[in-house]
Amino acid sequence: MIRLDERELSWLTVQQIRHLLKTIEDFSQNPHVHLLTRICLATGSRWREAEILQLRHVQEGKLTFVNTKSGKSRSVPVSEELFEEIRKHLKEQGGFSFSLSAFRRALVKSGIQLPAGQAAHVMRHTFASHFVMNGGDILILQRILGHSSIIITMRYAHLSPTHLESACVHGPRFEDI
């Protein structure tokens, strides 16, 4: 097998998230891009998974993502406020339209610099990074993101506040030897 370097993993800070959402709010004419951005940030979904959501996929406080990269559907709970906003939007609009270009324009307008090829995917990385930094379990994150292998999810483990501390806690205690 040929070893390829892993792409740089970028994610947004809380301040950058606020700035991006404000930029979208102020400058985007697309009626879907703000809500789609929030869906991706709240669930770790891929942009396309969020764009193809239909009202039938928004049930019991969860969003069910279908036609995923792995081919397996997965459901992710969201806040009651976001859930109701998504339901209302889908009832009024009938669905989401292609909005990735509008998102990319807003990202450029925001001035946030990202590595090449990570425009909308940064929302997924941002969710995962904040999930781990806030103490979320890596196995739960794997299920939320729909990764088939924990190895993929482990890219976020270094962001855990206890990642390195566990070496001291779970390793041998030499004072006992």
Active site residue 124: yes
With 0-12 / 13-18 / 19 or more C-beta atoms within 10 angstroms meaning exposed / middle / buried, residue 53 is buried
**Annotated active-site residue in 34, 74, 125, 156:** 156
pLDDT in tens, 71-98: 899 999 999 999 999 999 999 999 999 9
Query: Which of left, alpha, beta for 119 (phi over 0: left; psi -120 to 50: alpha)?
Result: alpha
| 34 classed as catalytic | no
Active-site residue, 69 included:
yes
Selected catalytic residue, list 7, 18, 22, 69: 69
The CATH homologous superfamily to which domain 14-176 belongs is Intergrase catalytic core (1.10.443.10)
End-to-end CA distance of the chain: 43
Ranges of each domain in the chain: 14-176
CA–CA separation, 136 vs 22, rounded Å?
27
Longest dimension (CA), the chain: 68
Amino acid letter for position 70: S
Catalytic residue check, 89: no
Q: Is position 163 annotated as part of the catalytic site?
A: no
Pull the structure tokens for residue 105: 């324009």
38 in catalytic set: no
Residue 12, pLDDT score: 95
For residue range 96-155, what is the model confidence (pLDDT) as tens digits?
Answer: 999 999 999 999 999 999 988 889 999 999 999 999 889 889 999 999 999 998 888 888
What percentage of the chain exceeds 90 in pLDDT? 68
